[in-house]
């Protein structure tokens, strides 16, 4: 199994050691970006409806997810490093982008969003699983002792990034909102 596949598997298993490995490996930044893009494309595919042009839907969701990831990671970095640091918190934006990028892997389940009966469940499961992975990734990247601090930072960052992406989305596609 390649290192990239092993890392994705570890991220999906919520393996703390995988997040530590990715945090320390500066060459994993492009891999993290690839995970985000793959999960974003899967999300876009999940939102394709019969008779709709598929490329703009995939592109819109992929771009939105990519922007959301960057904004969420930046907010987590700001809150986690400056507003709510732990005693051992030492991190860089690169470390956070790598760990949170791999934490996006569970969002690939969203590819099933358009499937009758299981679609909504798959979307919710992928989202909750990704959030749990994000908490572990942030705990590792920011060297927090407490999972509760990581949870607070992730939740705050998620809420603010959701508002940001929603505002941007309304500007480009007001009929969705």
What confidence tens digit (pLDDT) does each residue in 142-154 have?
999 999 999 999 9
- What number of residues does the chain have? 177
Q: Which of 8-22, 78-92, 121-135 has the lowest mean pLDDT?
A: 78-92
Enumerate the H helices of the chain as residue ranges.
3-12, 16-24, 29-46, 54-77, 93-103, 119-141, 147-172
The torsion angle over the Cα atoms of residues 151, 152, 156 and 161, rounded to 10 degrees, is -20
* Residue 173 pLDDT exceeds 70: no
If you average pLDDT over residues 126-152, what whole number do you get?
A: 95
CB-based contact 119:59 (threshold 8 Å):
no
CB-based contact 150:135 (threshold 8 Å):
yes
123: confidence class by pLDDT, cuts 50, 70, 90: very high
Q: How far is CA 26 from the centre of its chain?
A: 18
Q: Which of 72-76, 111-115, 151-155, 160-164 has the lowest mean pLDDT?
A: 160-164
Question: Which of these, 141, 48, 13, lies nearest to 86 by C-alpha position?
Answer: 141
If you average pLDDT over residues 9-36, what whole number do you get?
A: 96
* Residue 177 pLDDT exceeds 60: no
pLDDT at residue number 175:
58
* Residue 108 pLDDT exceeds 90: yes
> Within 13 A of 75's CA, how many CA atoms are on the CB side?
21
pLDDT at residue number 14:
97
Higher pLDDT, 149 or 164: 149
């Amino acid at each position: 199994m390649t290192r990239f596949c092993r890392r994705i598997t570890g991220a999906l298993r919520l393996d703390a050691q995988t997040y530590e490995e990715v945090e320390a490996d500066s060459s994993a930044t492009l891999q993290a970006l690839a995970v985000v893009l793959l999960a974003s494309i899967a999300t876009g595919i999940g939102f394709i409806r019969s008779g709709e042009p598929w490329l703009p839907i995939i592109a819109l969701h992929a771009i939105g997810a990519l922007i959301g990831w960057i904004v969420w990671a930046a907010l987590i970095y700001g809150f986690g490093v400056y507003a709510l640091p732990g005693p051992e918190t030492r991190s860089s934006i690169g470390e956070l982008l790598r760990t949170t990028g791999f934490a996006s892997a569970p969002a690939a389940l969203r590819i099933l969003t358009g499937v009758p009966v299981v679609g909504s469940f798959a979307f919710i499961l992928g989202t909750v699983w990704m959030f749990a992975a994000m908490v572990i990734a942030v705990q590792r990247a920011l060297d927090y002792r407490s999972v509760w601090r990581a949870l607070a930072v992730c939740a705050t960052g998620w809420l603010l990034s959701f508002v940001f992406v929603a505002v941007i989305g309304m500007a480009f596609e007001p009929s969705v909102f």
